[in-house]
Structure 1
């Protein structure tokens, strides 16, 4: 067999074996890999190259070595799941870098982290003043998580005592110019509704790169041609304006009528509608 053909076949075998073995190892981003997993990834890649190119050695020996590495890695992962001591020994423990607003210099030295590097990591978290940090910890994977002081925490509805309902995910109903029937059915809509919305925007489905419907039924599109501007959906704004107009009409009827009972009814209805508008306003202004 010619060398080029043998290398091609070995490479294909290495790719297939590597694919299935990495599927066994699971999904992790590079930043989430432990030290041992990082070493395993490098070694497996080197072994795959060895299987592909080393014509003087038996290729199956490389596959055996790959299998051993993967088996050991999976075994260590199960051990980490079962034992905290094993996790602490293999991955290490989190290290506190800032506590009560004060930098712990000894822990910085322990992690061999320079002051400039600490400030760089804080800036990556949108923190530009050390005084704004209440607590910062370096995780075993090297990432630094930050807790801001109470004065600098972002304001949330919970701080204001407002209860906010869950936000269902938006559904992608058009992708690469093709209608996705399953997401449409998930939100209880049809192709007829989608075609009506496309007519409103004045575009054909084949010109749509991506189309999404949010939890409030508003349709958003991104076109292949970025030079074409699509008008923003106005359903929420129109609904809010209609509700305000109804409120104003009720107040006007209450002021103009001479009938006492009718006046009280209009005023009561106006107050109830005002209460409804106050409740739905956060949703209509998103």
Structure 2
């Protein structure tokens, strides 16, 4: 019974520490917007999981590991914001895969991004023909941002002179 109580306490502690980690580092941790945040999320989850059930390792060691990892990630985020050159190295940079309607094969090769992966990402954006794309950028979080060629872009209300009155957006407080 004592072992079960220890696991319960460790699990609650792990949850609280992970929750604090996400609260301190913000929503970008959830979105894993860069390499170091992706790595940190995996590592923090592993440490927390071990804290919850690995009773052979001292409780204090897990606490030290979580605090140290959280501090490292916090410092990397701070440096990335303060120093843009270093920030590009820490967080990575977006890569252009299609420019002026042309697939940049060298850029795709450098990123390890195959033509099949590009086509799959385009289909996820409801683009089934590469010819429709003016520009495609692989963002640091792995998502693909697309600018369609002008003739394939959707018409907007402004294009059709159908401007509607401004509305307030309801926000829960």
Q: TM-score range by the shorter chain?
A: 0.7 to 0.9
Q: 5+ residue gaps in structure 2?
A: none
Task: Give 1:48's aligned residue.
Answer: 48
- Bigger CA radius of gyration: 1
TM-fit CA distance, 1:28: 3.3
For residues 9-20 of structure 1, the aligned pairs below 5 Å read 9-20=9-20
Is the CA contact 2:32–2:41 (under 8 Å) kept in the aligned structure 1?
Answer: no
Aligned length: 173
Deviations 1:225-259 (A, max 9, x none): xxxxxxxxxxxxxxxxxxxxxxxxxxxxxxxxxxx
Deviations 1:90-109 (A, max 9, x none): 12211111111111111111
Give the Cα separation in 1 of the matches to 2:31 and 2:117: 17
Give the Cα separation in 1 of the matches to 2:24 and 2:96: 33
Give the Cα separation in 1 of the matches to 2:45 and 2:32: 18
Give the Cα separation in 2 of the matches to 1:47 and 1:22: 14
For residues 52-201 of structure 1, the aligned pairs below 5 Å read 52-161=52-161, 163-169=163-169
Q: How has the CA–CA distance of structure 1 residues 158 and 29 changed in structure 2, closer, same or farther, with 3 Å as cutoff? A: farther
Give the Cα separation in 2 of the matches to 1:24 and 1:108: 35
Higher relative contact order (CA 8 A, sep 6+): 2
Q: How has the CA–CA distance of structure 1 residues 104 and 27 changed in structure 2, closer, same or farther, with 3 Å as cutoff? A: same
Give the secondary-structure state (helix, strand or coil) at the position aligned to 1:28: helix
Q: CA RMSD in A?
A: 2.3
Q: 5+ residue gaps in structure 1?
A: 173-181, 183-286
Deviations 1:32-88 (A, max 9, x none): 431111111111111112222232332012101111111111111111111211221
Q: How has the CA–CA distance of structure 1 residues 75 and 145 changed in structure 2, closer, same or farther, with 3 Å as cutoff? A: same
TM-fit CA distance, 1:21: 2.3
